[in-house]
């Protein structure tokens, strides 16, 4: 099931005053449980580097029956990053239910963040909409690692990157579409996974992440995420250097089974 795990860390920003409230606010902005629909399931896992983190995400059904998913990563760590993450999540919540395509949503989101920019603060963001009737996923990317399409054919990255949200005026984003099939899954991640480092400082990188995802069993979305995070924590020798957040959209077979 969807879960946020707060791990004790050390940052100069952490203080007794306000930290408890920050944790409660961050929890309130995250999904409380997986989201299930006819032949699909969405869930997530978050492990923060500090008491609170700068990652954020949500998933929801839109008024037309389509599924929306967004995920984001604020530059920096600790309390100030979490506060900006709450601001960013609130901004996206006000936009995503308009029915606009993901690229248009991210463009409007960037414009709103630039109206009152905060020095040295911005976020990488990704927004996707899945049409369960056409079984088509549309996604736009503002600086996060590309989503990964898991299928019987292997693991493939979707689309391209883009400028982070809130960094530059006039940023535009490309819309990428991919056709999914029953049994497929799509993984959305922040860069805490692909940029995780081993004890020698060698990053996992996207190629290795793709190879890892290609061999893990994704029939159970929750078990897949736990196995993925455990593998990355093993790679870092239990010393991750950033928040790690991932959401997965899994399509089940039309006969109701959960197999690939």
SS3 230: helix
Question: Cα dihedral sign for 163, 143, 6, 26?
Answer: positive
What does the pLDDT look like over 13-53, one tens digit per residue? 444 445 666 666 667 678 889 999 989 999 999 987 766 77
Q: What is the pTM of this model?
A: 0.87
- β-bridge mates for residue 6, sequence order: 48
Tokens 């995503």 belong to residue = 96
Which of 173, 148, 149 is closest to 161 using CA atoms? 173
Q: What is the pLDDT of residue 240?
A: 73
Beta bridge partners of 154: 151
Res 228: pLDDT: 96
Find tokens 């693991």 and name the residue. Answer: 155
pLDDT of residue 5: 46
Q: pLDDT at position 15, please? A: 43
Residue ranges covered by each domain of the chain:
3-251
Rg (CA), the chain: 17
Dihedral of the alpha carbons of 18, 19, 20, 23, in degrees to the nearest 10: 120
Topology of the domain comprising 3-251: Phosphatase 2c; domain 1 (3.60.40)
Task: Reduce the DSSP state of residue 58 to 3 states and report it.
Answer: strand
Query: What gap in Å lies between CA 127 and CA 108, rounded to an integer?
Result: 12
């Amino acid at each position: 099931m969807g879960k946020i795990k707060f791990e004790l860390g050390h940052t100069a920003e952490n203080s007794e005053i306000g930290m408890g409230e920050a944790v409660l606010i961050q929890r309130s902005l995250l999904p409380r449980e997986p989201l299930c629909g006819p032949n699909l399931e969405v869930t997530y896992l978050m492990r923060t580097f500090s008491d609170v983190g700068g990652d954020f995400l949500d998933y929801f059904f839109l008024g037309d029956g389509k599924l929306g998913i967004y995920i984001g990563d604020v530059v920096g760590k600790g309390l100030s990053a979490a506060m900006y993450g709450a601001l960013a999540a609130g901004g996206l919540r006000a936009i995503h239910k308009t029915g606009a395509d993901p690229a248009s949503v991210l463009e409007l989101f960037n414009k709103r963040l630039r109206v009152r920019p905060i020095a040295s603060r911005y976020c990488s963001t990704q927004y996707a909409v899945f049409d369960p009737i056409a079984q088509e996923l549309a996604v736009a990317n503002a600086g996060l690692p590309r989503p990964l399409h898991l299928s019987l054919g292997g693991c493939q990255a979707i689309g391209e990157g883009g400028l982070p949200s809130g960094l530059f005026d006039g940023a535009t984003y490309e819309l990428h579409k991919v056709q999914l099939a029953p049994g497929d899954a799509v993984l959305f991640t922040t860069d805490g996974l692909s940029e995780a480092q081993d004890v020698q400082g060698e990053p996992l990188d996207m190629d290795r992440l793709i190879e890892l995802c290609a061999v893990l069993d994704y029939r159970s979305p929750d078990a897949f995420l736990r196995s993925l995070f455990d593998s990355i924590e093993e790679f870092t020798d239990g010393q991750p250097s950033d928040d790690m957040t991932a959401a997965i959209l899994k399509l089940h077979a039309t006969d109701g089974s959960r197999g690939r």
